[in-house]
């Protein structure tokens, strides 16, 4: 295994720092939630409202996205739907469907997740994800991830979407809950590194098969190929 510590990124060995982790692509296998989940959730929301649009559902791809875009809002308005309310309802169904997929075994944990129990002995360990808070909580319970002393996904709805990484909101929420202001955040995407930097933490990029070609624009970050390598820096 190889570890690269870039420039002046450092981890102080005093045990008073938070070790925060992203979920998708770091703890839970896969880059993220399957797009089909959101497409099916869109249809769930339409059925829930007993809504019969004049155009075929297949022609409304803007409403199947997990992002709250101007196109999403405009399309809702054209259909006579409240954009924020419909988005929140669609997300509620997306969370339910993502949980169902995990229950069926569609996604599992990475093998190196076992090291969390050892990391937890010396540092507060938390999980902070852009995934839905109900999904994140389910993953922790379903896989018995007892090492996490703080668990937080994003809130359903527009406000939760706007607070996603690279915004540091949820990372800062974790730090406040743990009573800490220092540490590291481990992620697999550029947005994770930016969020860590914005929150004043050391950004850590873990290499997984889906991000082998990622070239981060952030110079001051740590790169690892396994969660087990974190032990070398604590």
pLDDT in tens, 44-93: 998 898 877 766 676 678 888 889 999 999 989 988 899 999 999 999 99
Strands 18-21 and 125-132: parallel
Least confident of 2-11, 95-104, 139-148, 217-226: 2-11
Give the CATH number for residue 198.
3.40.50.1000
Q: Which long-range contacts (CB under 8 A, 24 or more apart) does 217-220 make?
A: 217/190, 218/190, 218/193, 218/194, 219/6, 219/7, 220/6, 220/7, 220/8, 220/9
Stated as kind and residue range, the H or E segment containing 19 is strand 18-21
Cβ burial, residue 115 (10 Å; 0-12/13-18/19+): middle
20 and 50, same domain (yes or no)? no
174/123 same-domain check: yes
* pLDDT value, residue 55: 64
Say if residue 66 is preceded by a cis peptide, omega within 30 of 0.
no
Q: Are 161 and 67 in contact (CB under 8 A)?
A: yes
Residue 219 pLDDT grade (very low, low, confident, very high; cuts 50, 70, 90): confident
pLDDT at 149: 93
**171 shares a domain with 227:** yes
25 shares a domain with 49: no
pLDDT tens for residues 3-56? 333 333 444 445 579 999 999 999 999 998 898 999 899 989 988 988 777 666
Domain match, 124 and 69 both = no
Residues 57, 125: one domain? no
Provide the residue range defining the domain that includes 148. Answer: 4-31+108-233
Per the prediction, the chain carries an average pLDDT of 90
Residues 180 and 70 in one domain: no
Q: How many domains does the chain have?
A: 2
Assess whether 198 and 117 both reside in one domain.
Answer: yes
* % of the chain with per-residue pLDDT over 70: 91
> Are residues 159 and 185 located together in one domain of the fold?
yes
**3 state DSSP class of 80:** coil
51/66 Cα distance (integer angstroms)? 20
Rg, Å, the chain Cα set:
19
């Amino acid at each position: 295994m190889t570890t690269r510590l870039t420039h002046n990124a450092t981890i102080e060995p005093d045990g008073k720092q938070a070790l925060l982790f992203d979920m998708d692509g770091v703890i839970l296998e896969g880059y993220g939630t399957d797009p089909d989940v959101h497409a099916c959730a869109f249809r769930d929301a339409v059925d829930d409202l007993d809504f019969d649009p004049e155009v075929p559902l297949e022609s409304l791809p803007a409403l199947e996205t997990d992002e709250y875009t101007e196109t999403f809002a405009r399309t809702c308005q054209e259909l006579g739907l409240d954009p924020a309310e419909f988005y929140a309802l669609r997300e509620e169904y997306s969370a339910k469907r993502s949980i169902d997929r995990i229950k069926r075994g569609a996604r599992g944990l990475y093998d190196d997740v076992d090291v969390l129990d050892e990391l937890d002995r010396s540092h507060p360990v938390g999980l902070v994800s852009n995934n839905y808070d109900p999904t994140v909580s389910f993953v922790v319970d379903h896989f018995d991830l007892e090492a996490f002393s703080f668990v937080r996904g994003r809130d359903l709805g527009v406000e939760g979407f706007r607070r996603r990484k690279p915004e540091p909101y949820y990372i800062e929420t974790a730090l406040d809950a743990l009573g800490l202001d220092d540490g590291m955040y481990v992620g697999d995407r550029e947005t994770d590194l930016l969020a860590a930097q914005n929150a004043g933490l050391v950004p850590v990029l873990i290499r997984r098969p889906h991000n082998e070609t990622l070239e981060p624009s952030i110079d001051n970050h740590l790169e690892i190929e396994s969660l087990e390598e974190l032990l070398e820096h604590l």
